[in-house]
Structure formats: C-alpha cells, structure tokens
Amino acid sequence: MTDLAKQYEQFGITPETYAFGEAVLASLQERFKKIDDIAEYNQMKVIHAMQQCRVSEACLLGTTGYGYNDTGRDTLEKVYAAVFHTEDALVRPQITCGTHALALALMSNLRPGDELLSPVGKPYDTLEEVIGIRPSKGSLKEYGISYRQVDLLADGSFDYEGIRAAIGPKTRLITIQRSRGYQTRPVLSVERIGELIHFIRQIKPDVICMVDNCYGEFVETTEPTDAGADMVVGSLIKNPGGGLAPVGGYIAGRKECVENAAYRLTSPGLGKEVGASLGILPSFYQGLFMAPIITAAALKGAVFAANVYEKVGFPVFPDSTQERYDIIQAVTFGSPEGVIAFCEGIQAAASVDSFVIPEPWDMPGYDSQVIMAAGAFVSGSSIELSADGPIKPPYTVYFQGGLSFPHAKLGILKTLQNLTDKGIVTAGFRKA
C-alpha cells in the first residue's frame, strides 16, 4: 500500500475504494488542466483589479460607528467593479446572505406598478417569498410589484416566443438565475445568458437585466456582466468569499442600479457613505484573492464526484463529461438511504463537527424533510465541503464545495465507502 493510501485508510477508506478513486482521477487530468487554466486567468484578473485600484495596507483596516471615509470598504467595492467590469459595486457585511442581496437588488430597483419577469422558470426557493409567489410579509407583491414567469422549454432552451409575449409596458426588471438551485433545468453559461439578454434588449432596451450569480463566480473566464447584464448579485459565503469571508453579499453593476441598492440598504440620503466595516475587510480582500483557486478546487470535486457516481451506476447532473457553469453536482440515488449515506459520508470528512451524524428534519419552508451535511469553518458556507438533499423522489443529493481538492476528494471517497459499506453501492464497481 502506498503512504497516501494509508493516509486515507485512517478515515476508513479501504485500499479498494482508494484505488477506484485513483483510477477515476487518472482519466480526469485533461479536465483538471482546463479548470486550472480558467483559475489562472481569473487569478490574474483579480490581482490586476487589486493593483489598478491601488489596494494598500491601509485598506485592510476597518472603521467603526458610521463608517464615514472607510477607504478599505470603498476600495474593495472598486475592486469588485473592476473584476466584474461594472461601473460600481456594493460589497458589505451588512448584506446578510445571498437571498438578502437579491431581495435588496430587486426591492431597490423596482417601484410599485412595475413588473418583474423571470424568463428561465421558477427562481431559487427563498426568492418565492421575496417575490410573493408564496405569500410573505414585506414581499414585492405587498408593495404592488407584480411577477411573471416563463418556463424553459422541455429541451432546456429559452421559450423566446413566450418571453416576447410576457414583456409588456410594466416590465421593469428581468431576473436570470445562472445556477439551477433545486430545479432540474440546465445551468446557464455566460454565453447563453448573453444570448437571452440580447434578445430581451431588442424587445425592450431599457429593461434592467439582473443575474443571480450564486455559485457561478469564477467558473468561467467571463461573468454575466461581460455579456450585457446590468447587475450581478451573489453571496460571499459562496465562491467570491473564497472560504474566508465570514458573512456578506455583493451587487455589482450599473451605477444607478448599485446606487438604488445602497440607498435601500442603508437609508435614502446616506447610501454608500455609511456602513462601518469593523474588522472584516482582510477576509473580504484575501477571500476574493483566493476565490479563483478555491472555485477551481470545488469544480474539480464536482467533476470527480460526477465521474465516480456515473461509474457506479447512478444518474448524475451535470454528467461526467459536460461543461461546468456552476460548482453544484447532483447525484440521484433513487432511495432515501442513498441520500442519507452520502450526506453521512460528507459530514464524516469534515474538519469541524466530523463526529456529528446528520439526520433528515422538517426544515421551515420545505415540503419534505431535508438532510444537510456541513462541517464548516463558516456556518452554512457552501463553498466549503457540503451536501444536502430533500427526502423525496427522485432522491437527489446536491454536493458542492471543498476549499481544497484533496478535501473534496476525501469527502467523495468517504461517501463511496459509506454507500459500499451499507450495500447501496455493490462491490462490482471496482472493476468498472
């Protein structure tokens, strides 16, 4: 046995499981090289942005109180704008999560009487309450903002005729989700988002095009704002926080859109001028610096997982060879036991809370039990190694993250070992 295999054996991974993983990995070197090339491109983009914006040691200090003249905060927002090629950005610890960032972007750029349109089907679950698809206090609906949706066609393509018909005089903002959330629809590449925006602009040039960029940052060499989006919105405890940001969200886009969001986040009249950064800026800067490499690690983990689980006979999405536009990997087990065993494996591979055994529970807002595995340095961070799945057919688990590829690899091998030990994956896989 090699020394490395012995390291894995400490975690209960047998030499057979380890060898199977190595065989799968050997076939992925070309894929990994492509991922590394994208990471290198994006690393240069981030460093160049930091240099252009003259990030200095003083930028790493924080302010208190009102946070007037917070050079570090203001410079970081310039760096984000430079990375996303936008006029401005709002990057704040006062934005509590991705849902908050999206709600902020929507509520600040829509006015009573306006209509919001999603041309790519149902948006992420938590946005249903923001929009008022599910009745909720403070929703857009309560403020007289209506909502329309055009689903993708059965083959995953845009319903151009449906979209044309849905755009009317009230349509003010279009929301496009890059990642697929818990839906079974294709993930959208920046190129496809660009095509959609181009089509929409021909019908209504002044409509605001917003992209929910969660899980998509740094997966490609371009971002939706390079393809015509007016705003991109996301969470700092996903890709762009690089695993280091302990909280936060961002909105990058046209000056007017960002300004609207700032006046809504703080107060009319105050906008971007207030908002103390306290001591958080080093983690925001260093997290952004690390983000391209961390995203690449997560992507390699996703590709590895797809190839492992496809070989042992489970449907995976994206499949083993498909191009990646976000960091999420779905595996369909067809049984609750499969989903549970997978999540147990991920949890057992964690650096924090590895001894905890995850169990399905009745999470608020979901119509079935949900199981989650996360042993993270930042609570709930899903750029760290994590998995979750609703306990309902077709029993699909969603896997993402890993701040280093070896950690993602350990997680996947641990899931495979657990599924094998429980007889859900049969020993035959070793010959695959």
Ligand X SMILES: *Cc1c(COP(=O)(O)O)cnc(C)c1O
| Position 48, amino acid | H
Question: Taking the mean position of all CA atoms in its chain, how far away is CA 173?
Answer: 22
- Comparison of 20 and 399: residue with beta carbon closer to ligand X: 399
- Comparison of 8 and 158: residue with beta carbon closer to ligand X: 158
Which residue of this chain has its Cβ atom nearest to ligand X in the complex? 98
The closest alpha carbon to 249, from 292, 201, 299, 284, belongs to: 284
- Comparison of 380 and 423: residue with beta carbon closer to ligand X: 380
- Comparison of 312 and 387: residue with beta carbon closer to ligand X: 387
- Comparison of 17 and 179: residue with beta carbon closer to ligand X: 179
Tell me the DSSP string of 361-393: B--TT-SS-EEEEE--SSTT-SSSSEEEEESST
Which residues in this chain contact ligand X in the complex, by CB under 6 A?
97-99, 102, 124, 126, 177, 179, 181, 212, 214-215, 235
Residue 133: HSE in the Cβ half-sphere, 13 Å Cα cutoff:
17
CA distance 45 to 405: 22
Q: At what angle do helices 15-26 and 281-311 cross, to 10 degrees?
A: 100
- Comparison of 53 and 110: residue with beta carbon closer to ligand X: 110
CB proximity list for 192: less than 8 A, separation 6 or greater: 158
**DSSP alpha helix (H) spans, 144-226:** 160-166, 190-203
Classified as helix, coil or strand, 115 is strand
Q: 219 — phi, psi (to 5°)?
A: -80, -30
**DSSP alpha helix (H) spans, 271-404:** 281-311, 336-348
- Comparison of 331 and 372: residue with beta carbon closer to ligand X: 372
